[in-house]
Homo-oligomer: A and B are copies of this chain.
């Protein structure tokens, strides 16, 4: 479960604020992009979960910011799964400025699984097994 999934993204103008840097809330979008991609590469598409009536609400987020991303920067988002069972997933993230390798932010998210009415459920085997199998392969 220590495999790192890496994606790159370029800062959009709209993501800046009047301090001239990327607004801090936008890092959560990058975490999300990393998480989506991590799951895709491990055989799980969020659209399939949704089609099966499984929601995956975030229940905890934390982010520490050490330097600012700026407009037009290319950032690298590194995503790792640090805990995983049928009841929850915990991911950790690093956002790195490509130009100089500086870590701009690091954080974690935890999500649970619920049905469409918001009641906690356990992740069905078809998804759980796939994630475990893929992680084992790597």
Listed in ascending order, the chain A residues whose CB lies under 8 Å from chain B are 12-14, 16-21, 23-26, 28-29, 32-33, 36, 45-47, 50, 55-68, 71-72, 118
- Taking a contact as CB atoms under 8 Å apart, the answer to whether A57 and B68 are in contact is yes
In Å, the complex CA distance between A65 and B65 comes to: 21
- Taking a contact as CB atoms under 8 Å apart, the answer to whether A24 and B62 are in contact is no
Oligomeric state, in copies: 4
7 CB-based A-B contacts, threshold 8 Å: A17-B18, A25-B29, A36-B72, A59-B65, A59-B66, A60-B63, A60-B65
In Å, the complex CA distance between A61 and B107 comes to: 9
- Taking a contact as CB atoms under 8 Å apart, the answer to whether A12 and B29 are in contact is yes
- CB-CB under 8 A from A14, the residues of chain B are 17, 23, 25, 28-29, 32
